[in-house]
A and B are shown apart, each in its own frame.
Chain A
Amino acid sequence: MKSKAISVESLKKYYKKVKAVNGISFDVDYGDLFALLGPNGAGKSTTIRVLTTLAAPTSGNVKVAGYDVIREDKKVRQKIGLVSDRLILYDRLTVLENIVFFSKLYNLDKKTIITRAEKLLSLLHIWEWKNTVVSKLSTGMKQKVNIARALIPEPDIIFLDEPMLGLDPEATRTIRNFIAALNKDGKTIILTTHVLYEVELLANKVAIMNKGKIVAIDTPRNLRNHFKREEIVEVETDSPIGDLNFDGEILEKIDNYMKVKVEDLDYFLKELTEMNIKIKNIKTFEPSLEDIFIKITSDEKDGVKS
């Protein structure tokens, strides 16, 4: 049996009275791109802080790379890289000075560091800025340097806490593709975000957090299927559609065109055929993770647990 990259058992992290993380359990396999999704204050960053040995758990069992985060914290730190929700760069040092400083703390020699930095920074299109003081870079460039800083020691497990926050679409795309490529290269990645689109594109496993708890955890596809209760269908027919009897709601209806929300697609289609109407074109919309996310987190607020 291959060991897990991360295993979390009944983790709780309280700050005085604030239950930032209130009993969560999950596993991450090596090679996974695991996404932690949740609204503000859900406890995502706190979970990352515990996993990266920056915060001590109040209770629970947490292992990263097979090491206990409390007893073997130094070994854990040897294996991980962190891009936290705040920039880990010194404003007054240049790009390269920052990277050399942090990498040397991992016992890398300067030659290795420069070789790796050139490769990484070139990939991210910022090698030419290497001698610029960080304070003079744009937000997007800073984040690219920040990511490079975390990656140069070549950690097995990479934590990215909202890495695309505040970036323009161009920078977001570059970094997103970069993350996908990293994962393809076999790196285990733990990503937090509230942008669901990122998760749909990148992750192979998602945990949705709310108020310190994991309310759903699965692959993005399964989550979508599991929460698929209703579908939106667009149909175009050869003749005008008359009155229909089905469970659902008509959203739009113009002559031969109709947009409906249905509980059971099969039943709806059967109805149509029974009326002798031929379908020229049909398009179904699956619920996005966004729909699921909003549904789950609002159910929680109403006190209705799914």
Chain B
Amino acid sequence: MKVFMIAWKDLKTFLRSRTMVIFSIAMPIIMMLMLGYIFPQNVGKISGKVGFYSQDLLFKATIKVANVSNAIFFNSKEGLIHALAKDEIVVGAVVPKNFTADMALGKAQIDVIPNPANPQAGIMMAQMIPTMAGNSSSSKTKKVKVNLTNVDGSAFNYYDFMAPGIMALVAIMSVANGLAASITRERELGTMDGLMVTPINRGNIVVGKIVAQTVRGLIQAIIVLGISMLFFNVKILGSIWSTILLLILGIFSFIGVGIIITASVKEQETAQIMMTTITFPMMFFSGIFFPVDQMPKFAQYISYIFPLTYAADALRKVITLGVGFSYISTDVIVLLGFAIVSSLVATIGFKKLIQD
């Protein structure tokens, strides 16, 4: 109960600062708006396999002619989606029944479902299919219409890729930052002494703070999701509880960093600078704004050391593809590992922190 008293006190002091509340809400909003418009739409080569679920028997032959060597064929749409979730293919395409016939009539349609972890490939495919199907750039008549869609058939946009990543980023970063700031502030003001001189278990202090910051981080993440849904047509296809659980797992995987920094430097400013030094590269390497698959190899290896990479990936699959935990087991196991190590580090860090 002492944990919740401390958590509630932290939240109450937070809520009393109007600027802090405003910025906590504004930060994710600004981030979403800003980043939504700067995504590069460049076209390159698709690296990875392309999945097809074809209801048209003649389609396979057409593809052969077009010489797409990295194509995999599936017998159902579910098979295609699961392969996307398992990253076996980078993009999936659903070919309707009379595709080849309609092509001759110039009214053929195809649905391309990008892997949310790498929407670039989907966009490229959408651009390549018309060429493959014989659309010449010079002729005005398009023989094939390509729909870039989500699993449920709604139009895919960049926010479908970005929103889950930003949710994870906002939650993880604001909790680690907030925790470091809150501990150092109390230490500098002297109120930490006030807490430590009471007969409570000192562990309650740090756990209480973690609870308070997690609540705040989740609220910020939900703001990101809300904006994405309201303004950018993002839909949660998976379970909201899996989403929250993954966010909490992500938060815990990074908490140790916040605490160990706080324990090793005494001043709030220095702690802040150190936090930024770590979180800034994490933002770019974890594939939040730019797909990890599209990065150079060395950058991909670096991305593996950040728990955010796994959290963002898992969240994308749950939110955009709507799959359950069995498809993100690797991400979840890695995140659990990070969370356990992080909690151990946090415990040791806190012991060091209260030593004087």
Contact = CB atoms under 8 A, between A and B. Distances in A.
Do the two chains bind?
yes
B12 A86 contact: no
A106 B356 contact: no
Given A90-B13, A97-B12, A54 B196 contact: yes
Given A49-B356, A56-B356, A89 B197 contact: no
B13 A93 contact: yes
Nearest to B355: A56
Interface in B1-59: 2, 5, 9, 12-13, 16-17
Contacts of A91: 13
Shortest 6 CB-CB contacts between residues of A and residues of B: A86-B190, A88-B194, A92-B16, A55-B356, A105-B198, A77-B199
Given A77-B199, A93-B12, A106-B198, A88 B2 contact: no
Contacts of A102: 194, 198
B200 A105 contact: yes
Interface residues of A, number: 30
Contacts of B200: 105
Contact of A86 (B16, B189, B195, B199): B189
Contacts of A89: 191, 194
Given A82-B197, A105-B5, 6 more contacts: A53-B197, A74-B199, A90-B13, A92-B17, A101-B5, A105-B2
B193 interface: yes
A105 B9 CA distance: 12
Contacts, number: 67
Most buried by A among B13, B16, B194: B194
A139 to B, nearest CB: 15
A105 B197 CA distance: 10
B196 A90 contact: no
A97 B345 CA distance: 33
Interface in A89-124: 89-93, 97, 101-102, 104-106
Interface in A74-92: 74-75, 77-78, 80, 82, 84-92
Contacts of A85: 190
Contacts of A192: none
A52 B197 contact: yes
A162 to B, nearest CB: 13
Interface string B170-201: 00000000000000000001110111111111
Most buried by A among B2, B9, B190, B201: B9
Interface in A35-57: 49, 52-56
13 contacts: A54-B193, A54-B196, A84-B194, A86-B189, A87-B189, A88-B191, A90-B13, A92-B12, A105-B5, A105-B200, A106-B199, A133-B16, A149-B194
B33 to A, nearest CB: 30
B74 to A, nearest CB: 58
Contacts of B12: 92-93, 97
Contacts of A52: 197
A52 B197 CA distance: 7
Contact of B356 (A54, A86, A92): A54
A74 B196 CA distance: 10
Contacts of B189: 86-87
Contacts of B5: 101, 104-105
Nearest to A53: B197
A52 B198 CA distance: 10
A136 B190 CA distance: 19
Interface string A59-79: 000000000000000110110
Contacts of B2: 105
B199 A101 contact: no
A101 to B, nearest CB: 5
A80 B9 contact: no
Given A84-B190, A90-B9, A93-B13, A54 B355 contact: no
A82 B355 CA distance: 18
Contacts of B190: 84-88
Nearest to B14: A92
Nearest to B5: A104
Most buried by A among B193, B197, B200: B197
Contacts of A74: 199, 201
Given A78-B199, A105-B2, A105-B200, A93 B193 contact: no
A80 B355 contact: no
Nearest to A49: B356
A90 B356 contact: no
A53 to B, nearest CB: 7
Contacts of B193: 49, 54, 82, 84, 86, 88
Contact of A92 (B13, B197, B198, B355): B13
Contacts of A80: 197
Contacts of A106: 198-199
B9 A93 contact: yes
B206 to A, nearest CB: 15
Nearest to A74: B199
